[in-house]
Amino acid sequence: MPDYNKLSKEKLRAELKRVDEAYDRFKQMGLKLDMSRGKPGTDQLSVSNGLLDAITSRDWDDDNNHSLRYLNYGLLTGIDECKEIFADLLQVPQKNIIVCGNSSLNMMFDYITQCMLTGSDGTPWSHQGEIKFICPSPGYDRHFAICEYYGIQMIPVDMTDTGPDMDAVEAIIRDPQVKGMFCVPKYSNPTGVTYSHETVDRIAAMEPAAKDFRIIWDNAYIVHDLTSKGDRLDNIFDALHRYGHDDMVIEFTSTSKISFPGAGVAALAASDRNIEIIKSRMKYQTIGYDKLNQYRHVKFYKNVEGLKNFMRLHRNILQPKFKIVLYEFEEELRDCNIAQWTHPRGGYFISLDVMRGTAKRVCQLCKEAGVTLTPAGATYPYGYDPADQNLRIAPSYPPVDELLSATKLLCLCVRKAALEKLLEE
Amino acid sequence: MPDYNKLSKEKLRAELKRVDEAYDRFKQMGLKLDMSRGKPGTDQLSVSNGLLDAITSRDWDDDNNHSLRYLNYGLLTGIDECKEIFADLLQVPQKNIIVCGNSSLNMMFDYITQCMLTGSDGTPWSHQGEIKFICPSPGYDRHFAICEYYGIQMIPVDMTDTGPDMDAVEAIIRDPQVKGMFCVPKYSNPTGVTYSHETVDRIAAMEPAAKDFRIIWDNAYIVHDLTSKGDRLDNIFDALHRYGHDDMVIEFTSTSKISFPGAGVAALAASDRNIEIIKSRMKYQTIGYDKLNQYRHVKFYKNVEGLKNFMRLHRNILQPKFKIVLYEFEEELRDCNIAQWTHPRGGYFISLDVMRGTAKRVCQLCKEAGVTLTPAGATYPYGYDPADQNLRIAPSYPPVDELLSATKLLCLCVRKAALEKLLEE
């Protein structure tokens, strides 16, 4: 395949004709595929099949089991056995863990809500005029949506190979209206980057002008390796402690992509002071979260090692799916020299940069041929990608055969949009 | 037993001596009992034992089951089958139902939070200066706690035998700072009163000065009858509709005292407009609640009739417990003429009015002898019972034998506190 940038108009037109024909053949196939969200596929769900049998009515007659104990009210911050697993996972003391319901996003939303109404540790954010958040971009659309809902102004900062552009971050935090920052520090959504030792250290060392500045450390992909080795991410609380900044970060994680999305368990880790502040809200908010489901997870995984073993099964399912997509990108896009993409070592996404100004068009073309992608721009604050070039590709949901068709179509659309663009110029 | 109000000081002293001796004997028993909260007992939990087996890994191979479908993200407002049960229960269309997680209290907290930050349907409550809520009293301490957390001024209104004192309510709502009202319309917590037809009609007809006024209609005990007939509560939405006030009420309920407290399913019912407003927050707050647990309940109960059948089993367990307490009150307190109590036809509580100025003392005496009661005052806004006379008695949690001991002790403490008081005067 030729380098599109070096083709004459005539050759571009000939190539577009070939691509158009192939695209039309795809359209006639009547595909209906979804690569839009980081959903586990059915094959992955069956990995956690046994979770459904972890607690049964037979437990009633077993004196050594605790199911019965967890069927009533109370235990606001979660059951100890479940806290222990998350404490081992996040490498923090058990007293610094709170386990809640099924959604870490919900916990983040509730935390930001609390900061808005009663403050992170001081004046409510909603009483401080227009406040701002640092949003490494491309990033997670659901984080950005929370800011948008509360009218928190988002300041995009570029993602580099080692994490957010820290020079930019360090400049922005001099503004006392900047109250926080969203981070997905491991296998970042969507770029797959794991923050380097230096990045974590610089983040921990930050001295924001706002004393009530808080980092949402969304460690969603903490054990979601796609390679046997896996990336190493520094423990943020160890780093914070070196600088006496223990209160600056709230860490979140969940089993949404370990057990079941929507029926898993979510948790947070925070300093003693932040745990106290968060509990001071929770005790008004609820009598307790679903402890039975927490205990179900404990009985199924036993401990953090058990949980990690299950991640190997997920890896065996996910690895080939990522390889299919990356292989097709290599085959269908490399030579044309019109796109770049990431080679993630973990997480749920491939970040694909198509030719500038064509991401929206690629999405539209895919949609018309029956493949749903995350909308172009979604990975940027306000859904606005200034270069209109980033696409978040989620290979996990479709079965292998469908994924191959979808990726072939996607590559064709990337080429078609690039050719159209080049012919416009 | 004599009428204490008619005894001479000398006879009061003699009676106190007898009561003290009996009290000391109790103290030596080293009881450790809890009548403080409306918790189902272990016997009641086992009624729902089968819920634990409703979904198992064997479902995987059953093409007709939907478990698998509910293991992934999505369906923000709950699964249709579960909505249908709540729609039948609350007698509203399915489109006016939202099913969430395990706690209706959490849903109320989130709703009030939303009103504070973004308004019920207009200006955020937090931007309107000091706002107020009507709190029928005695009432539910957890409702009052939400107001207290957000600095919403509570205006207590007396509970009558037919619901809140509506003359008072109608006067208070002329103040535009009054933004809402908490109601437990059926088997009210703690008085057990079910709002009469007239009360529901007057509530629905209200024209509050605040256009953004909202009633939290906490129908926690909707099917929690202690008699075979059960009270009849008018459908609030039918009543509202007669006056074109459909948006004034948000109704909440849950299976916390039907299946498992803490591992049940909670739901709300609201007008089209309110559903839309609540969804506009929820779509930022979460990707979805635990649909697997929703479906677990659907498979277990099948439909609303199935659910009601289980309430008969609960009734068979609860009825004797209420009878034990009421029988003891009759035996030990009637003749002394120092206390009044309710004879609830449903719900989880008996409301006991002891001699004015002695409720705190009764609690303290019970505590010192090993029986925990709901703190005196808890049933009033700010924990302040002006007459210091109301106690909320929860007979559900202790086993029958322990309940009998606890009630005997309670009666003794009521008499001891009254005697002490009469001797002071």
- Tens digits of per-residue pLDDT, A323-344? 999 999 999 999 999 999 999 9
- How far apart CA A106 and CA A126 sit, in angstroms, is 19
State if pTM tops 0.95: yes
Tell me the shortest Cα–Cα distance from A321 to chain B, in angstroms: 18
Q: Give the residue among B385, B348, B325 at the shortest CA–CA distance from B135.
A: B385
Size of interface A-B (CB pairs under 8 A): 151
Express each pLDDT in A86-131 by its tens digit. Answer: 999 999 999 999 999 999 999 999 999 999 999 999 999 999 999 9
pLDDT value of residue B357: 98
Whether A129 has its CB under 8 Å from any CB of chain B: the answer is no
pLDDT digits (tens, 9 = 90+) for B163-215: 999 999 999 999 999 999 999 999 999 999 999 999 999 999 999 999 999 99
In a shared domain, residues B255 and B374: no
Q: Does the beta carbon of B96 lie under 8 angstroms from any beta carbon of chain A?
A: no
H-state helical runs in B103-196: 104-118, 141-149, 166-172
Q: What is the pLDDT of residue A296?
A: 96
The residue of chain B with its CA nearest to that of A37 is B73
Residue B79: inside a domain: yes
What is the residue range of B26's domain?
A: 4-45+308-424
- Asked, for residue B156, whether it belongs to a domain, the answer is yes
DSSP state of A265: -
Considering only residues 386 to 415 of chain B, which have any Cβ-Cβ distance to chain A shorter than 8 Å? none
State whether B293 and B316 are in the same domain.
Answer: no
**Phi-psi category of residue A244: left, alpha or beta, with phi > 0 → left and psi -120 to 50 → alpha:** left
Q: Residue A269: helix, strand or coil by DSSP? A: strand
The reply to whether B120 falls in a domain is yes
Same domain, B331 and B413: yes
Are residues B22 and B160 part of one domain? no
**3 state SS for B250-306:** EEEEECCCCCCCCCCCEEEECCHHHHHHHHHHHHHHCCCCCHHHHHHHHHHHCCHHH
In a 3-state reduction of DSSP, which class is residue A163?
Answer: strand
Please check whether residue B303 touches A, CB under 8 A: no
For residue A267, give Cα distances in angstroms to B63, B77, B235, B338.
34, 23, 39, 51
Question: What was the pLDDT predicted at B58?
Answer: 87
**b/e string for A339-357 if b means 16 or more Cβ within 10 A?**
bebbebbbbbbbbbbbbee
* A216 and A271 part of one domain: yes
- What chain A residue is nearest to B143 in terms of C-alpha separation? A284
- Strands (E) in B54-117, as ranges, are 97-99
* Nearest Cα to Cα of residue B157 among B143, B73, B149: B143
DSSP symbol at B77? T
- Put simply, the answer to whether A149 touches B284 (Cβ < 8 Å) is yes
Q: Does B281 touch chain A (CB under 8 A)?
A: yes
Q: How confident is the model at residue A65 (pLDDT cuts 50, 70, 90)?
A: low
Question: Does A74 touch chain B if contact means CB atoms closer than 8 Å?
Answer: yes
Identify the H or E element spanning A373: strand A371-373
pLDDT of residue A63: 63
Report yes or no on B88 lying in a domain.
yes
Q: Check if the beta carbon of residue B133 is closer than 8 Å to that of residue A278.
A: no
| Same-domain check for residues B229 and B347 | no
CA B396 – CA B42 distance, rounded (Å): 10
Alpha-carbon distance B208 to B176, whole Å? 7
Could you say which of A249, A281, A302 is where a domain stops?
A: A302
Q: Which residues contact A323 (CB under 8 A, 6 or more apart)?
A: none
Look at residue B222 in the predicted model and tell me its pLDDT: 98
Tell me, yes or no, if B34 comes closer than 8 A to chain A by beta carbon: no
Whether B190 and B319 map to the same domain: the answer is no
Q: How many Cβ atoms are within 10 Å of A239's Cβ, its own excluded?
A: 18
Average pLDDT in chain A: 96
Q: How far apart are alpha carbons A379 and A358 in whole angstroms?
A: 15
Which residues lie closer than 8 Å to B287 by C-beta, 6 or more apart? A103, A105, A142, A261, A262, B73, B74, B76
Residue A66 pLDDT level (bands cut at 50, 70, 90):
confident
pLDDT of res. B65: 65
Please give, rounded to a whole number of angstroms, the shortest distance from the CA of B289 to a CA of chain A: 6
Whether residue B82 contacts residue B265, with contact meaning beta carbons closer than 8 Å, is answered with yes
CATH number for A356 = 3.90.1150.10
Boundary (domain end) residue, out of B260, B277, B302: B302
CB < 8 Å to A260, chain B = 71-72, 292
**CA-to-CA distance for A403 and A395, rounded, in angstroms?**
7
A63 touches chain B (CB under 8 A): no
The DSSP symbol for B126 reads G
**Rounded CA separation B359/B339 (Å):** 11
Q: Are residues A204 and A349 in the same domain?
A: no
Question: What pLDDT does A249 receive?
Answer: 98
Contact A71 B262 (CB under 8 A): yes
Whether B298 has its CB under 8 Å from any CB of chain A: the answer is no
Q: Cβ separation of B105 and A70 shorter than 8 Å?
A: no
Which residue bears the tokens 């024909």? A21
Q: Model confidence over A276-306: pLDDT tens digits?
A: 999 999 999 999 999 999 999 999 999 999 9
| Statement to judge: residues B294 and B318 lie in one domain | no
Say what angle helices A80-90 and A304-333 make with each other, to 10 degrees.
50
pLDDT, residue A368, reads: 97
State the average pLDDT over residues A183-204. Answer: 98
B contact test, residue of A106, A127, A294 with most B CBs within 10 A: A106
Report which of residues B184 and A70 the model is more confident about. Answer: B184
Number of compact structural domains in chain B: 2
Residue B261 lies in a domain: yes
Say whether pLDDT at A79 is over 80. Answer: yes
For B365, the token pair is: 């005496």
What is the nearest CA distance from A68 to chain B, expressed in angstroms? 8
The beta-carbon neighbor of A106 closest among B52, B126, B286 is B286
- Cα B404 to chain centroid distance, Å, stands at 23
DSSP lists the bridge partners of residue A214 as: A180
Q: In this predicted structure, what is the pLDDT of residue B63?
A: 63
Instruction: Give the tens place of pLDDT for each residue, B302-346.
Output: 999 999 999 999 999 999 999 999 999 999 999 999 999 999 999
Q: How many CB atoms lie within 10 A of CB B299?
A: 18
Same domain membership, residue B409 and residue B284: no
- Which residues in chain A are closer than 8 Å to B116, comparing Cβ atoms? 117
Is residue A8 located within the same domain as residue A38?
Answer: yes
Is B59 inside a domain boundary? no
CB contact under 8 A, A109 and B263: no
Residues A320 and A227 in one domain: no
Q: Decide if B288 and A103 are in contact by the 8 Å CB cutoff.
A: yes
Which of A268, A302, A336 corresponds to the end of one domain?
A302
Using CA atoms, how far apart are residues B187 and B195, in angstroms rounded to an integer? Answer: 8
CA-only gyration radius of chain B, Å: 23
Would you call A105 and B286 a contact, using CB atoms and an 8 Å cutoff? yes
CB atoms within 10 A of CB A412: 22
Within-domain flag for B67: no
Sign of the dihedral defined by the CA atoms of residues A82, A88, A90, A95, in that order: positive
Q: Which of A52, A74, A117 sits opposite B57 (nearest CB)?
A: A52
pLDDT at A410 over 70: yes
- To probe the interface with B, which of A47, A67, A68, A72 has the most B CB atoms within 10 Å? A72
What CATH code is carried by the domain that includes residue B203? 3.40.640.10
Beta carbons of A49 and B60 less than 8 Å apart: yes
Partner B contacted by A263 (CB < 8 A): yes
Task: Average the pLDDT over A228-254 and give the result.
Answer: 97
In a domain, B64, yes or no: no
Instruction: Answer yes or no: are the C-beta atoms of B177 and B155 closer than 8 Å.
Output: no
- Which segments in chain B show pLDDT lower than 70? 63-65
What's the mean pLDDT in A265-270? Answer: 98
What number is the average pLDDT over the span A242-261?
A: 97
